[in-house]
Amino acid sequence: MKTQRFALTPGEPAGIGPDLCLLLAQHTQPQPLIVIASHVLLAERAALLGLKVSLINTTPDAWPDQPAPAGSLYVWDTPLAAPVIAGQLNAANADYVLQTLTRAGQGCLDGHFAGMITAPVHKGVINESGIAFSGHTEFLAELTHTEQVVMMLATHGLRVALVTTHLPLKDVAAAITAERLSRVTRILYNDLRSKFGLANPRILVCGLNPHAGEGGHLGREEIEVIEPALERLRAEGINLVGPLPADTLFTPKHLDHCDAVLAMYHDQGLPVLKFKGFGAAVNITLGLPIIRTSVDHGTALDLAGSGKIDSGSMDVALQTAYEMAASQSGN
């Protein structure tokens, strides 16, 4: 595998992100991994956890070309605005969090990193600081000047992308337009090809209504919006099946023969995926000009500094980023 450098952001400094970064030092990563974080924060959290981790400072002037040895981490030191107490939010450090994301995202754009992996942030405390922030996805879309992005979660044997994300259920039907469905499907298809190395990905599409509308008796969105849009996309050569009833789509009969599922809304697809692989799933932002993966959980403030955390999702997020970069580069 070609050597490629990656960036890791620890997210909310009072949460479990720094802990996850430090746990990674127990084993040598297959690629050079740069943690963009406060050196002081990582040192203090390592002491709290009783971990002996060598923190190796690095900068854009002297990037490493080999993975850090076991027991050590490469760190691009990014100073905090205020001291951190594990488990206690402090709005003063909101700008620090965004600075780590900016360094990682811009580093990907500039070719310093083959991809970025993100630990969880706390949206509330960033907004309390006076900075409008709706999430990693929107922040990175703005940073990379990307108009449309797609959320996809993946675990072993299942990928689920979403047409709509964080909308009240009463607003979902109106948001599913032919234009939006077409944009999201094209992004999903193109990224499955370019970032996952799938030559002709097969995508299963959920209907919106129970029984996919039951021929119009349980809703007409399938007939009037979804089916015509899918027919036009098939004419472009995109391999689509559906719309299918969501209650039977998520069964081995269908899933064993597909590369991804396209769900119409958040709680249609993600409960199934998280039941199948919570703690071993990864959040992937499609449509960006860069590779970005993330854990599938939150900041877990109550567990920060306790040593009682599971790094499974972070491990999957890292492995997925490495594999996507290898597929994209053809190695």
Interatomic CA distance for residues 121 and 298, integer angstroms: 7
* Pairwise CA distance, residues 160 & 278, whole Å: 13
Is the CATH code 1.10.10.10 the one for domain 150-274?
no
The number of CA neighbours under 13 Å toward the Cβ of 137 is 15
In tens, the pLDDT along 103-130 reads 999 999 999 999 999 999 999 999 999 9
Domain with CATH 3.40.718.10 in the chain: 6-146+291-330, 150-274
Known binding site for a divalent metal cation: residues?
166, 211, 266
Residues contributing to the annotated binding site: 136-137, 166, 211, 266, 274, 283, 292
Orientation angle between helical segments 17-24 and 39-49, nearest 10 degrees: 80
- Cβ-contact 294, 155 below 8 angstroms: no
Sheet containing 282-286: order of strands:
54-57, 72-77, 33-37, 6-9, 115-118, 292-295, 282-286, 150-155, 158-162, 260-263, 202-206, 239-244
- Binding-site residue numbers for substrate are 136-137, 274, 283, 292
H or E, element range at 243: strand 239-244
| Residue-wise DSSP of 65-130 | SSPPPTTEEEEEE---SS--BTTB--GGGHHHHHHHHHHHHHHHHTTS-SEEEE----HHHHHHTT
Domain 6-146+291-330 has CATH 3.40.718.10: yes
pLDDT tens digits along 183-216: 999 999 999 999 999 999 999 999 999 999 899 9
- Is the pLDDT at 137 greater than 90? The verdict is no
pTM as predicted: 0.91
Quote the CA–CA distance of 71 and 84 in Å, as a whole number.
Answer: 23
> For 78-95, what is each residue's pLDDT tens digit?
999 999 999 999 999 999
